[in-house]
Amino acid sequence: MEEKDLEQVVRGLLRAKKAVAFTGAGISAESGIPTFRGEGGVWDKYPPSRFGNLLGLSWEWLVNPGRVKDFIKDVLEAFLQAQPNPAHLALGRLEALRILKSVITQNIDNLHEKGGCHKVIKIHGSLDRARCSRCGALRLMGDQGLREIVQSLGIRKGRRVGFLKWLGYLLGECESCGGRMRPDIVFFYEALPMDAWSQAMAEAQSCDLMLVIGTSGIVYPAAQIPFLAKRAGAEIVEINQEVSPLSRIATYRIEGPAGETMGKLFSLLESKNFREWG
Ligand code: BJW
Ligand code: ZN
């Protein structure tokens, strides 16, 4: 990564009236949460056809419930152990400086919130929330709730019930309507939460700079977000270790790990005289 590229991006951020970030699994990689795709990714160990959608998981549950439990345990433990890295922290500081207006994330971890961001739009849901399958009510489980689920995975074995019913046992009933709770995560072939998706589109269409950090840009409709921003005239800054389908619309590309890059970028921004650069 060249210092002068970072300088360009810092100048862009200082010029921007409304900067927004769009993030994917790569931003949390340096926090110890594996990405989905690529070597060592979640899908390497747990293929998406069997673990990335509810039908696949229900089938896997019938033939190999232990494997489904391993999957849930791995995902929850990574979530519980992770701490924000310099990229999450830099976004939090940029928000505090009123440079960054919001973060649109595909991630289901809570590292943006822990990193100090308050306006986080979670278009693929959140691992620490349960959602009622009947009325849509949300319940925050928090770290403690997730730890209890990890513990109960060992206890609730051998029950001959369907996957969704078993999940209902794990997550409890809806306090509003008594319906069955499920994780508030968007699996493949499921609709995105309408509120979050509308907000994300509005933010994309009204920003003048978008930081696109650590996403492969192949999952739709999420991957439309940078295109919407581009069409509305925003500068696109891509920070990724690899080239992605979003690279071709990037005004600036910084190839490197998100934590290290964002850490340097924020230090540079802090070290410069804002007015001189603005
Ligand atoms: C670093 C780094 C470092 C690494 N620093 N960078 C064509 C065929 C079949 C299906 C479809 C199709 N077109 C569209 C679809 C549907 C599907 C889709 O897009 N599929 C494509 C993959 C082909 N989309 C959906 O199903 C969506 N729903 C939908 O369309 O509904 C329509 C509908 C609904 C109802 C009725 C009728 C219609 C929903 C998508 C939900 C995605 N859910 C997941 C989680 C699954 C659950 C689970 O098991 O947890 O969300 S999938 C997964 O991908 C996760 C992520 O949010 C999402 C995006 O991934 P992300 O964040 O980009 O991560 P990676 O791993 O892909 O990339 C990491 C990047 O970081 C890489 O670029 C690295 O280089 C980089 N990196 N380390 C910087 N340190
Ligand atoms: Zn309900």
Establish whether residue 211 lines the binding site of ligand 1, counting it when its CB lies within 6 angstroms of any ligand atom: no
Which sequence positions are flagged as catalytic? 124
Closest CA to 242 of 227, 226, 253, 230: 253
Q: Where are the alpha helices (DSSP H) in the chain?
A: 3-15, 26-29, 42-45, 48-51, 54-63, 65-81, 86-96, 111-114, 142-155, 163-171, 194-206, 224-231, 258-271, 274-277
pLDDT at position 230: 98
> Which ligand places an atom closest to the C-alpha of 139?
2
Report which protein residue has its CA nearest ligand 1's atom 49: 52
pLDDT at position 178: 96
> Which ligand places an atom closest to the C-alpha of 130?
2
CB-based contacts of 253: which residues, under 8 Å, 6+ apart? 237, 238, 240, 243, 247
pLDDT at position 272: 75
Establish whether residue 246 lines the binding site of ligand 1, counting it when its CB lies within 6 angstroms of any ligand atom: no
Best of 31, 36, 68 to mutate for ligand 1, by most ligand atoms within 8 A of CB? 36
CB-based contacts of 256: which residues, under 8 Å, 6+ apart? 1, 239, 241
Establish whether residue 78 lines the binding site of ligand 1, counting it when its CB lies within 6 angstroms of any ligand atom: no
Residue 239 near residue 23 (C-beta atoms within 8 A):
no
Establish whether residue 37 lines the binding site of ligand 1, counting it when its CB lies within 6 angstroms of any ligand atom: yes
* Angle of the 163-171 helix axis to the 54-63 helix axis, nearest 10: 100
Establish whether residue 191 lines the binding site of ligand 1, counting it when its CB lies within 6 angstroms of any ligand atom: yes
Half-sphere exposure of 193 (CA within 13 A, CB side): 24
The tokens describing 41, both together, are: 């990714």
Q: What is the pTM of this model?
A: 0.96
pLDDT at position 154: 76
Percent helix, strand and coil across the chain, each to the nearest 5: 45, 15, 35
User: Which stretches in the chain have pLDDT values below 50?
Assistant: 275
pLDDT at position 4: 80
Residue 24 CA, closest ligand 1 atom number: 62
Whole-number Å distance, alpha carbon 118 to ligand 2 midpoint, is: 27
> Which ligand places an atom closest to the C-alpha of 47?
1
Whole-number Å distance, alpha carbon 143 to ligand 1 midpoint, is: 25
What is the dihedral sign for C-alpha 113, 190, 207, 217? positive
Whole-number Å distance, alpha carbon 219 to ligand 2 midpoint, is: 29
